[in-house]
Amino acid sequence: MSLKRIIQFIASAITLGNYPAIWQGGIYQGPLKRGCVPILNCWGCPLSLFSCPIGALQHFFNLHLIPFYIAGFFGAVGTVVGRMACGWLCPFGLFQDLLYKFKTFKMGLPKFFSYMKYGVLIIVAGIIAWISGEPWFCKLCPAGIIEAGIPLVLADKTGDIRALVGWLFWIKMAILVLIINFSIFIKRFFCRAFCPVGAIYSVFNGFSMFRMMIDKDKCIECDSCKAVCPMNVPIHHKPHHIDCIRCLDCVKKCPTKAISYEAR
């Protein structure tokens, strides 16, 4: 198992570390929930110890407030490492990585899908949240249904939660099923097409403190880096690509050691 995969599992175990909820039920609401992790993480997950930055962003929008704290949080993380948190820390990213390991035919993703995540961020998590006063991205988030919706329904001993299950739950289930199916055939489908967290961090990829570097004198244009990339990024042509999650798989794979990750 690679170092990256080990760190992904450890990060997921910490982020979703409220293990007493397995036998006690309920949602952790202690002091750790006041802080966000730099990744997609459902607040309502019984195992979740921290808040989700997109959920917090929408909370401020619901109150018609400018989220300076959340903007500063994203800015601090993005300015230092760009989109690296997506590649090393995100449980839902790990979930998609594992789904893609299924031995079946694989598909590419049309380029325009990469821009849809900005629409999700601006329209769903931004404008609609501001106008409606409801966190609509959270209501539809596939990570939320797998981390919170399904576990809460299955763990419901009284039947109160199951009695509340309605059309929105089944819409979320349908979205999750679609994401799971596409993620088997397409590398990190949700991350590339719909994730608003990735949309924010991608803006910083071009000027973050740590970034991908290509030695053009060593590069032999073999495309080994693109073949191993979980985001299908042609890193040898676009080292600051918006979809690069700095997983460093390409650094390990490059036969001529032309790729590096270093501070400017």
Asked whether residue 161 falls in the same domain as residue 236, the answer is no
Residues of the chain with pLDDT under 50: none
Q: What is the pLDDT of residue 251?
A: 96
User: What 8-state DSSP symbol labels residue 123?
Assistant: I
The first and second tokens of residue 241, run together, are 């690509």
Looking at the structure, tell me whether residues 54 and 165 fall in a common domain.
Answer: yes
C-alpha–C-alpha distance, residues 147 and 41, integer Å: 8
pLDDT of 185: 97
pLDDT at 23: 77
**In the listed set 170, 202, 234, which residue is the last one of a domain according to the structure?**
202
CA distances from 157 to 19, 24, 25, 160, 163 (A): 18, 11, 9, 8, 12
Instruction: For residues 59 and 110, state if they share a domain.
Output: yes
Find the length of the chain: 264
Whether residue 86 sits in one domain with residue 217: no
Check whether residue 30 and residue 136 sit in a common domain. Answer: yes
Q: Which of 151, 169, 202 finishes a domain?
A: 202
Is there a single domain that holds both residue 146 and residue 237? no
Q: What integer pLDDT is reported at residue 158 of this predicted model?
A: 63
Query: Domain of 250?
Result: 211-263
Number of domains the chain contains: 2
H, E, C per residue of the chain: CCHHHHHHHHHHHHHCCCCCHHHHCCCCCCHHHHCECCCCCCCCCCCCCCECHHHHHHHHHHCCCCCHHHHHHHHHHHHHHCCHHHHHCCHHHHHHHHHCCCCCCCCCCCHHHHHHHHHHHHHHHHHHHHHHCCCHHHHHCHHHHHHHHHHHHHCCCCCHHHHHCCHHHHHHHHHHHHHHHHHHHCCCHHHHHCCHHHHHHHCCCCCCCEEEEECCCCCCCCCHHHHHCCCCCCCCCCCCCCCCCCCCHHHHHCCCCCEEEEEC
The confidence score (pLDDT) of residue 134 equals: 95
Structure tokens, 221 = 């244009």
Judgement on whether residues 160 and 37 belong to the same structural domain of the protein? yes
d(CA 144, CA 146): 6
In whole angstroms, what is the distance from residue 117 CA to residue 115 CA?
5
> What is d(CA 177, CA 183) in angstroms, rounded to the nearest whole number?
10
Shared domain for 109 and 223, answered yes or no, is no
Q: Are residues 138 and 216 in the same domain?
A: no
Same domain, 217 and 127: no
Q: Do 247 and 182 share a structural domain?
A: no
State whether 25 and 144 are in the same domain: yes
The reported pLDDT for the residue numbered 163 is 60
**pLDDT tens digits along 83-124:** 999 999 999 999 999 999 999 999 999 989 999 999 999 999
Global pTM value? 0.92
CATH of the domain at 232: 3.30.70.20
Residue 122, pLDDT score:
98
Instruction: Please identify, among 157, 184, 202, the residue that sits at the C-terminal boundary of a domain.
Output: 202
Q: What is the pLDDT of residue 264?
A: 76
